[in-house]
Amino acid sequence: DGGITQSPKYLFRKEGQNVTLSCEQNLNHDAMYWYRQDPGQGLRLIYYSQIVNDFQKGDIAEGYSVSREKKESFPLTVTSAQKNPTAFYLCASSPLGTRAVSTDTQYFGPGTRLTVL
Amino acid sequence: ELKVEQNPLFLSMQEGKNYTIYCNYSTTSDRLYWYRQDPGKSLESLFVLLSNGAVKQEGRLMASLDTKARLSTLHITAAVHDLSATYFCAVDKNYNNNDMRFGAGTRLTVKP
């Protein structure tokens, strides 16, 4: 089945640690995204990538890093510089369709819940 | 800067009643998305609205888009408990589905 997988489902981080969240998709989508969701709030964009070996910062990129070495993979590292990392992290992907006709949307993975101990 | 505002943020309804969720956005865009999120779960795409006047319906949910008013609505008809969830609208900032801005979400509770 085609879809997006994220791992782990739950992750605990100690102060000062870097942790990496995995995101894989087999939908053959060009674009991938990372969002952060805090309780009772909407999604905020951390990073996105339209093509392998290229990515752009979103609204809240500070304290995070990404890589896009393969089309199907877009891992997110939460560094020790991110002072308040406890949140629900969602990865998404989408095709880069023709705007005038495309009804494509972003497809979301199941999420990773990160907690700082 | 694109801002997306939803209201109400919390909505408690009786089963069988109708209600509308509103999504306003601040800059020109003619592509709007609605998503559903169950507690602790991911987002599920409901509707993609591509042009002014677009209307889409799925079961008890109907979404519309007025790009001139920069307003989308999600209308719920004869609500049932299974519709309890948080509903998000999102607006395409750069016209290419690569940079979306989300509203804060409307948490809907349908009571028997």
CB B71 within 8 A of CB B24: yes
Interchain CB contact of B2 with A (< 8 Å): no
Tell me the per-residue pLDDT of B2-30, one tens digit each, with 9 for 90 and over.
899 999 999 999 999 999 999 999 988 77
CA distance B101 to B110: 27
Mutation pick from A10, A32, A43, A107 vs chain B, by most beta carbons of B within 10 Å, is A43
Confidence of residue B104 (pLDDT cuts 50, 70, 90): very high
Separation in Å, CA of A58 to nearest CA in chain B: 8
Strands (E), chain A: 4-7, 10-13, 19-25, 31-37, 43-51, 54-57, 64-66, 76-78, 87-94, 107-108, 112-116
C-alpha A117: how far from its chain's center? Answer: 22
Render each residue's pLDDT in chain A as its tens digit; 117 residues. 669 999 999 999 888 899 999 999 999 999 999 999 998 888 999 999 999 999 999 989 999 999 999 999 999 999 988 889 999 999 999 887 655 556 678 899 999 999 988
Phi, psi angles (nearest 5°) of residue B82: -65, -15
Mutation pick from A99, A101, A113 vs chain B, by most beta carbons of B within 10 Å, is A99
**Cβ of A45 and B100 within 8 Å?**
yes
Number of helices and strands in chain B (H, E): 0, 11
Contacts of A40 in chain B (CB under 8 A): 104-105, 107
- The three-class DSSP label of residue B93 is coil
| DSSP strand pairing (B10-14 vs B106-111) | parallel
**Cβ of B43 and A99 within 8 Å?**
no
Separation in Å, CA of A110 to nearest CA in chain B: 5
CB A81 within 8 A of CB A69: no
pLDDT(B96) > 90: no
Interchain CB contact of A90 with B (< 8 Å): yes
